[in-house]
């Protein structure tokens, strides 16, 4: 059977054909009833520096980046989503029943439609579709373009013997040749070896790898090897000399010579369980590998061809924040210029259980470094410097120079570098970073210099502020927040000032500090921390104040106690009426702590002591002592006070090694 939709159509016929197979770019996915997904093409920034794009389906198949248009063709749930290399939606090609396998060749995109044992051809520019049915030669699995033909595999069932099915698109005719497989298989070909086809058995733990020459249209077997593990991905290196396979333990990307299929001796490290591999000739030759990374925080690796040390790692499946989020099998490809890696992830549990509550995601991960900002240059009081470089694709950076002077890279991620120089060279003009393949990015050298007090590195500065003020380490999100703020020119003093002024962080500490002042007790950081923890865990302020009264004023006559607390809080003696009123309350059973709480937590006292409380937090945290009366009541903002302490010699003495 031969069905065709003409590639070159005119007028209303074009519209009729396209409307029959295409739906609007805002079309929602075919999820379960009540499912609410973001529209196709919705974009957001990923945590690995990738661009994350919502796809119009839940179950992800494979994808390719078509080399002439740079368009991305992603398969899933009987659809093909078409996007630009920048992740902008172009169209959804619908009614592609069973679309999972997708490949390129001969200037077209090819799709295997497993539900109908058909092969579809898509014009990458017009998106016109032509379909051929293999009929009784199906069911089909695997798809590759070699020797001017499309190739797939077929087997009625495991153990019945497989065949290699070929389609000649010039005539629409199919051929079938026994391939010696135990069942169906996976196929791969490459423009660098245009007449060679490689296949691997699927569904069995010890599979055969076979190389055929298909230049005549009749497959001729040239090599066969056995390999352990369930095959999940195949790729040929861009130079056409090596075959790469992903399968089971020991969970590495295995390299073989393409001519014999023998092991080359090179493996590329990754983690359990490998699911996909892609190659590119760009930028000196690249290899990408992916695993479902169930036990790891990394699921994507990029290597130079032949070099088993990755130049970039990333966690793309973590974007969905689901334990069942996985990279789709062999759904990874490079953009034609090698500037980005394109991949898909999906909720494998949601697909399996048919809840389909989460859309599959497309990830576009930059591989070429670009700089969006350099700075601030954070200078320690002892002459060191930490330079924060923000951008994309920075995980591939191998070296950095400032004004021509090489500087070490102390930390690296896809979004940020930290460069450390022993001292700031004079007269610098630019910051330049270079990836392993030589691609570079340059930005003006920052002019802003922010003082980190005694610290040379922003990370140590952040850790010290949380330890000093709150008595704990910052969380990962808190550290990332302040890393970003410092990188975007927030004054360092804003961190300690922010900790003591944050209502959420001060909710339990500020009342305790006011009670200590009201009770005229001695301050310490541990005293505040311990009583604030008890208050947070359920101890009432009255119970805390009762404890303070008992320890500070044991046996103090009632009238004197009432007068003392009024002087401590209000700065004046108690009136006769106040002494009489509180004496009566004490006789009726009110505790002494209640007087302290009543005066200390009054609205007027809270307002009057705001600056005093904040100053106290800074002093007991940073200098390990309470401020003097003059220091606690001195004019100026909290940030100004923090800056003065941060750059002072007393604070520097606590951190002699920066």
The residues spanned by each domain of the chain are 2-28+39-366, 370-451, 503-654
| pLDDT(26) > 80 | no
CA–CA separation, 112 vs 591, rounded Å? 81
CB-based contact 179:155 (threshold 8 Å)? no
Whether the bond between 273 and the residue before it is cis, its omega within 30 degrees of 0, is yes
- Average pLDDT in the 114-136 region? 94
CB 284 within 8 A of CB 437: yes
Lowest mean pLDDT among 399-403, 428-432, 631-635, 644-648: 428-432
Between residues 293 and 323, which one has the greater pLDDT?
Answer: 293
Asked if residue 63 has pLDDT above 80, the reply is: yes
Residue with tokens 């790469």: 244
Rounded Cα distance between 658 and 654, Å, is 9
CA–CA separation, 565 vs 549, rounded Å? 10
**Residue 504: DSSP 8-state:** H
CB 177 within 8 Å of CB 163: yes
> What number is the average pLDDT over the span 540-551?
94
pLDDT at 263: 94
Lowest mean pLDDT among 73-82, 431-440, 491-500: 431-440
Report residue 22: phi and psi, to 5°.
-110, 145
pLDDT in tens, 206-238: 788 999 999 999 999 999 998 887 788 899 999
**Residue 137: its pLDDT value, please?**
87
Q: For residue range 604-633, list pLDDT tens digits in order.
A: 999 999 988 999 989 988 998 888 888 887
Distance, CA of 53 to CA of 63 (rounded, Å) = 14
Altogether, the residues listed in the chain come to a count of 658
Identify which of 154, 143, 85 has the alpha carbon closest to the alpha carbon of residue 119: 143
Categorize the per-residue pLDDT at 319 as very low, low, confident or very high, splitting at 50, 70 and 90: low
Mean pLDDT of the chain: 83
Query: Can you read off the two tokens belonging to residue 456?
Result: 């040379």
At 247 the pLDDT is 73
Quick one: pLDDT band at residue 550, thresholds 50, 70, 90?
Answer: very high
Q: What is the pLDDT of residue 19?
A: 35
Least confident of 86-100, 192-206, 343-357, 551-565: 343-357
CATH number among 3.10.20.30, 3.40.1440.10, 2.60.40.10, 3.20.20.140, domain 370-451:
2.60.40.10
Q: Look up the pTM and report it.
A: 0.64
Indicate the class that CATH gives domain 2-28+39-366: mainly beta
Which stretches of 380-492 are DSSP H helices? 458-470, 476-487
């Amino acid at each position: 059977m031969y069905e065709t939709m003409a590639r070159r159509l005119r007028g209303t016929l074009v519209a009729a054909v396209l409307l029959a197979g295409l739906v609007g770019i805002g079309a929602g996915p075919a999820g379960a009833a009540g499912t609410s997904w973001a529209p196709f093409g919705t974009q957001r920034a990923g945590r690995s520096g990738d661009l994350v794009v919502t796809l119009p389906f839940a179950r992800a198949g494979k994808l390719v980046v078509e080399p002439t248009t740079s368009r991305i063709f992603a398969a899933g749930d009987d659809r093909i989503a078409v996007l630009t290399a920048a992740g902008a939606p172009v169209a959804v090609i619908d009614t592609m029943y069973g679309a999972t396998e997708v490949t390129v060749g001969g200037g077209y995109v090819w799709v295997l439609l497993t539900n109908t044992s058909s092969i579809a051809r898509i014009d990458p520019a017009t998106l016109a579709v032509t379909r051929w049915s293999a009929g009784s030669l199906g069911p089909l699995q695997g798809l590759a373009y070699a020797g001017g033909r499309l190739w797939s595999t077929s087997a009625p069932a495991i153990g019945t013997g497989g065949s290699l099915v070929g389609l000649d698109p010039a005539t629409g005719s199919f051929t079938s040749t026994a391939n010696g497989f135990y069942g169906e298989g996976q196929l791969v070909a490459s423009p660098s070896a245009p007449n060679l086809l490689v296949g691997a058995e699927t569904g069995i733990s010890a599979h055969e790898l076979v190389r055929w020459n298909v230049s005549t249209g009749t497959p001729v077997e040239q090599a066969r090897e056995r390999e352990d593990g369930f095959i999940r991905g195949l790729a040929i290196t861009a130079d056409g000399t090596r075959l790469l396979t992903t399968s089971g333990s020991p969970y590495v990307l295995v390299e073989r010579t393409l001519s014999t299929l023998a092991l080359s001796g090179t493996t590329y490290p990754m983690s359990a369980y490998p699911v996909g591999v892609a190659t590119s000739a760009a930028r000196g030759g690249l290899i990408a590998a992916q695993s479902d990374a169930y036990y790891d925080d990394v699921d994507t690796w990029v290597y130079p061809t032949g070099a088993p040390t990755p130049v970039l790692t990333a966690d793309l499946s973590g974007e969905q924040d689901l334990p069942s989020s996985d990279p789709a099998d062999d759904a990874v490809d490079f953009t034609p210029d090698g500037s980005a890696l394109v991949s898909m992830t999906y909720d494998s549990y949601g697909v399996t259980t048919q809840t389909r509550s989460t859309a599959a995601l497309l990830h576009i991960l930059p591989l070429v470094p670009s700089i969006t900002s350099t700075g601030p240059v954070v200078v320690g009081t002892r002459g060191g410097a930490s330079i924060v470089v923000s951008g994309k694709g920075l995980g591939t950076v191998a070296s950095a120079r400032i004004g021509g002077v090489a500087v070490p890279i102390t930390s690296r991620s896809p979004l940020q570098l930290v460069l450390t120089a022993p001292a700031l060279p004079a007269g610098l003009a630019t910051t330049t970073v270079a990836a392993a393949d030589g691609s570079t990015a340059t930005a003006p050298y920052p002019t802003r210099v922010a003082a980190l007090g005694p610290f040379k590195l922003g990370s140590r500065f952040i850790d010290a502020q949380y330890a000093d003020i709150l008595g704990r380490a910052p969380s990962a999100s808190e550290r990332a927040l302040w890393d970003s703020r410092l990188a975007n020119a927030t004054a360092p003093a804003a961190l300690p000032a922010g900790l003591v002024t944050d209502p959420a962080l001060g909710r339990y500490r500020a009342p305790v500090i006011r009670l200590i002042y009201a009770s005229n007790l001695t301050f310490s950081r541990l005293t505040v921390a311990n009583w604030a923890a008890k208050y947070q865990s359920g101890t009432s302020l009255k119970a805390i104040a009762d404890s303070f009264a008992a320890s500070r004023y044991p046996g103090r006559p009632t009238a004197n106690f009432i007068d003392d607390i009024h002087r401590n809080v209000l700065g004046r003696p108690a009136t006769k009426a106040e002494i009489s009123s509180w004496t009566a309350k004490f006789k009726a059973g009110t505790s002494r702590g209640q007087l302290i709480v009543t005066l200390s937590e009054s609205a007027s006292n809270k307002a009057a002591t705001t600056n005093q409380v904040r100053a106290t937090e800074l002093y007991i945290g940073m200098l390990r002592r309470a401020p003097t009366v003059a220091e606690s009541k001195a004019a100026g903002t909290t940030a100004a006070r923090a800056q003065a302490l941060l750059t002072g010699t007393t604070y520097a003495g606590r951190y002699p090694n920066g």
